[in-house]
């Protein structure tokens, strides 16, 4: 009987572990679905910072090479692959929308080597070329120093600290624009939920320290971005106003009814 119970518990934990792994692999891409839909619906990319894509592409490419040097959970490697594909999809959409809305015929290409337009190129192919070049550079350096433990740990720290800065471009863009218009609040809420989940996952699975430290920093930045958006606060004030108005109206109606009864 005890052995059967132990088997059931072990089976349940296996299923839960498998589900948690699936959430980790694909969960990071989910927050970008509402933002993708928002850009498609409005035909405007101004509210979304493509620097977020830059940060995540660099972080996840570095994380893949960190995995080669220090093989942690396969789940986290697959998560990086999914995230890279997601960011490329976001960049492809942004390039398509910007190409449609562009007034000037002048295009900015990566081959111009103009730092003023870094990561503001006109063609999606330029972003692919940058990613390919960065990957080749990382591969070359990793092959040279793969046996050096300090290099591998530094690579992991760079990867995770880059990812920790994920929300920073969005935070700065909102501050510069003095507005969160065009930014999907659903995306940021999903960022926050996902970061809380994955940080818990890292702690429970005893992942390298860089992972849970990265998660904690991401949660803080998510909270700052949420504080930039006045909509939730306005909604609370609106709800309070509606409640107060309803209370006043009910009180007035009750007083009128009372006066009417006295007159009768």
Q: Which H, E and C letters describe the chain, residue by residue?
A: CHHHHHHHHHHHHHHHHHHHHHHHHHHCCCCHHHHHHHHHHHCCCCCCCCHHHHHHHHHHHHHHHHHHHCCCCHHHHHHHHHHHHHHHHHHHHHHHHHHHHCCCCCCCCHHHCCHHHCCCCCCHHHHHHHHHHHHHHHHHHHHHHCCCHHHHHHHHHHHHHHHHCCCHHHHHHHHHHCCCCCCCHHHHHHHHHHHHHHHHHHHHCCCCHHHHHHHHHHHHHHHHHHHHCCHHHHHHHHHHHHHHHHHHHHHHHHHHHHHHHHHC
Q: Given this model, what pLDDT does residue 87 score?
A: 95
Confidence band for 124, pLDDT divided at 50, 70 and 90: very high
What is the rounded distance in angstroms from the CA atom of residue 30 to the CA atom of residue 90? 12
Q: Residue 95 in contact with residue 110, Cβ under 8 Å?
A: no
What is the rounded distance in angstroms from the CA atom of residue 224 to the CA atom of residue 222? 5
Most confident of 8-22, 138-152, 166-180: 138-152
Residues 15-42 have a mean pLDDT of 86
Greater confidence (9 vs 65) lies with: 65
Q: Given this model, what pLDDT does residue 243 score?
A: 47
Greater confidence (1 vs 130) lies with: 130
**In the chain, domain spans:** 2-229, 236-264
Confidence band for 2, pLDDT divided at 50, 70 and 90: low
Least confident among 76-80, 100-104, 136-140, 224-228? 100-104
pLDDT at position 74 over 70: yes
What is the rounded distance in angstroms from the CA atom of residue 171 to the CA atom of residue 226? 9
Residues 159-165 have a mean pLDDT of 81
Confidence band for 263, pLDDT divided at 50, 70 and 90: low
- Predicted TM-score of the model (pTM): 0.72
Most confident of 95-109, 114-128, 210-224, 227-241: 114-128
Q: Residue 195 in contact with residue 218, Cβ under 8 Å?
A: yes
């Amino acid at each position: 009987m005890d052995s059967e119970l132990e088997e059931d518990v072990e089976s349940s934990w296996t299923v839960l572990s498998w589900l948690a792994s699936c959430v980790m692999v694909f969960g990071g891409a989910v927050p970008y679905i509402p933002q993708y839909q928002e850009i498609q619906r409005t035909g405007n990319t101004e509210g979304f910072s493509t620097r977020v894509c830059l940060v995540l592409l660099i972080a996840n490419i570095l994380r893949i090479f960190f995995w080669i040097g220090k093989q942690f959970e396969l789940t986290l490697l697959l998560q990086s692959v999914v995230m890279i594909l997601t960011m490329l999809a976001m960049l492809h959409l942004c390039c398509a929308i910007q190409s449609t809305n562009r007034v000037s015929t002048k295009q900015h290409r990566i081959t111009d080597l103009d730092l003023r337009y870094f990561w503001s190129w006109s063609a999606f192919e330029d972003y692919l070329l940058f990613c390919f070049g960065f990957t080749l550079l990382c591969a070359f350096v990793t092959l040279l120093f793969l046996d050096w433990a300090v290099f591998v740990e530094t690579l992991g720290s760079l990867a995770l600290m880059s990812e920790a800065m994920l929300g920073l471009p969005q935070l700065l863009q909102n501050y510069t624009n003095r507005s969160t218009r065009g930014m999907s609040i659903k995306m940021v809420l999903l960022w926050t939920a996902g970061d809380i989940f994955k940080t818990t996952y890292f702690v429970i699975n005893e992942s390298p320290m860089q992972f849970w430290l990265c998660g904690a920093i991401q949660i803080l930045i998510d909270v700052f971005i949420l504080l930039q958006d006045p909509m939730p606060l306005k909604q609370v004030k609106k709800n309070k106003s509606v409640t107060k108005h309803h209370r006043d109206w009910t009180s007035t109606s009750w007083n009128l009814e009372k006066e009417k009864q006295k007159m009768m």
